[in-house]
């Protein structure tokens, strides 16, 4: 399994101009805006449009939705003009393909992972999503999807198809992202709670620290592969 350049860093759940600028100044490739009302990182469309205006041309804008209809999705795309849709719910492969067609946007499908058997779902999405995000499965009683700040057992990815350029999320933070990259060699990493000072409150310093650690680790892995 190898890292295919360019390595991507995504900061998700941004909600203020200050933290967005920290992500941009730190060199984030993608910024995520959350539209799931139950998430502590939920923002209104009005705020999202303001943030997108700051980010446009500097990083790719990702709109995160959970089990939305085609109508909801196309209306969001018309208002926000994101570069990507991140589908973080129970969207089937058929629904994923339909949303991709209707929106005219690239689609990232998040799949929850807790054990090796969860990886079987990847096959059905590879041809209908532009990118796969492997995230930690939420607790059974969770009110919203995502890793909830907890990494999954990365050893389950040992038998993953080395040709799959996936992004890795779930419990990543400035302290463990280098190890995650070294062990898993993803094409990119996605962080949200790992760069927060409190639930839903991003920390600009942690954002910059995370991006720097991820870039350094990815460069070291790539250098080792080409040496």
84: left (phi over 0), alpha (psi -120 to 50) or beta: beta
Q: What distance in Å separates the CA atoms of residue 127 and residue 122, rounded to the nearest whole number?
A: 10
**Pair 203, 18: CB distance under 8 Å:** no
Q: What distance in Å separates the CA atoms of residue 126 and residue 93, rounded to the nearest whole number?
A: 9
Q: What distance in Å separates the CA atoms of residue 42 and residue 21, rounded to the nearest whole number?
A: 18
Return phi, psi of residue 190, to 5°.
-130, 125
Task: Select which of 12, 29, 127, 173 is catalytic.
Answer: 12
The answer to whether 12 is a known catalytic residue is yes
- Tokens at residue 26, please? 């730190």
For the chain, give the number of residues: 227
Task: Select which of 29, 67, 118, 135 is catalytic.
Answer: 135
Give the catalytic positions in this structure.
12, 135
């Amino acid at each position: 399994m190898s890292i295919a350049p360019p390595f991507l860093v995504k900061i998700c759940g941004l909600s203020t101009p200050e933290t967005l600028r920290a992500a941009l100044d730190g060199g984030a490739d993608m910024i995520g805006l959350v539209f799931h009302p139950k998430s502590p990182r939920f923002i209104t469309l009005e705020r999202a449009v303001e943030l997108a205006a700051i980010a446009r041309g500097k990083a790719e804008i990702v709109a995160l939705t959970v089990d939305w209809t085609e109508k909801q999705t196309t209306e969001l795309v018309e208002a926000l003009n994101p570069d990507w849709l991140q589908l973080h719910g129970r969207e089937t492969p058929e629904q994923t393909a339909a949303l991709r067609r209707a929106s005219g946007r690239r689609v990232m499908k998040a799949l929850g992972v807790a054990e090796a058997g969860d990886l079987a779902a990847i096959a059905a999405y590879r041809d209908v999503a532009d990118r796969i995000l492997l995230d930690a499965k939420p607790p059974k009683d969770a009110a919203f999807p995502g890793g909830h700040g907890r990494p999954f057992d990365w050893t389950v990815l040992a038998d993953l198809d080395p040709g799959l350029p996936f992004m890795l999320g779930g419990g990543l933070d400035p302290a463990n992202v280098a190890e995650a990259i070294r062990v898993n060699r993803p094409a990119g990493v996605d962080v949200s709670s790992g760069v927060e000072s409190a639930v839903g409150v991003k920390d600009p310093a942690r954002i910059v620290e995370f991006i720097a650690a991820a870039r350094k680790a990815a460069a070291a892995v790539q250098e080792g592969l080409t040496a």
